[in-house]
Amino acid sequence: MRAAERISGVDFARRAGWRDSSLVSRTERGQRPITVETVRLWCRVCEVPDHRMAELLAEQASVARMWVSLREHHDLGLDARQKATVGDLYSRIDAEFSYQTKVLPGLLQTKDYMTEMLRGVRRDRRLELDDVADAVATRMDRQRNLHRPGVRFWFLLEETVLRYLYCAPAVHRAQLEYLMGAMRLPSVYAVAIIPMNSGRRGIRARESFEIDTFPNGSVEAQVELLSGLLTLTHPEDVALYRRAWDDLFGLAVIGKEARALIRSALAALDG
């Protein structure tokens, strides 16, 4: 934008009221966050029309919502962090496609299993505030959405999820037994499991992700990474994850075969 208007970095800095042009180059190289104030400043200095500024502000807002760094919520604790990042999402969707490679989906976790998972998250994040009990209560309350009329859930798991022993065997056993029962819930359209010995036909395991659809027709994909939560709304990005889902779901078994894999994982707990 600045170059198109033939404004030098030095001249831009002068018009912006900055002492030198280093802030200009750092901003344009992505070394400083692009805030609403940044967009307005660039538009003012470059004399951008109002309609174009509105477009740029909308784009900035979309990008800002796309990435939530967990570092930003470090001092808030687990409960406040999940309220800030997830909020009332599950009460607003009409369908979710969840793919998990490490742990069972939160909506299908028992209280004891969930407690162990969140204790692990607190340890990994080096969080001083111990609000695991509050975070568990919030997540358990969220499970009410499994009984909400009209909502549909598809859960897709790598078989290894059934076998990772993050907690005491008794807790893990109760979790797997609960999973068997949850498969019969009307809102759970499928619990599909990709066998460890499945011929994957070149289809690799992916990072865990969820695809959510909303009554107004909008769709978004969410990917929780080690350092933050990525929310994708652009149709091409969402389509990429939907294709990944379809490919992975094609490797999975459901129904009796899925239950057999859960029973196998239960039997492995007996040694």
Tokens (6 digits) for 62: 């979309």
Query: What pLDDT score was predicted for residue 226?
Result: 75
Question: Are β-strands 188-194 and 152-158 bridged in parallel, bridged antiparallel, or unpaired?
Answer: parallel
Tokens (6 digits) for 138: 């919030």
pLDDT digits (tens, 9 = 90+) for 169-181: 999 999 999 999 9
Of the candidates 59, 162, 77, the residue with the CA atom closest to the CA atom of residue 113:
162
Three-class secondary structure of residue 129 per DSSP: coil
Q: Is 249 exposed, middle or buried (0-12, 13-18, 19+ CB in 10 A)?
A: middle
pLDDT digits (tens, 9 = 90+) for 174-217: 999 999 999 999 999 999 999 999 898 999 999 999 999 999 99
pLDDT digits (tens, 9 = 90+) for 60-74: 766 666 666 656 555
Pick the CATH number of 68-268 from 3.90.1570, 3.30.70, 3.30.410, 3.30.870: 3.30.870
Gap between the Cα atoms of 3 and 45, Å rounded: 12
Of the candidates 252, 237, 226, the residue with the CA atom closest to the CA atom of residue 161:
252
Q: Where are the domains of the chain?
A: 9-48, 68-268
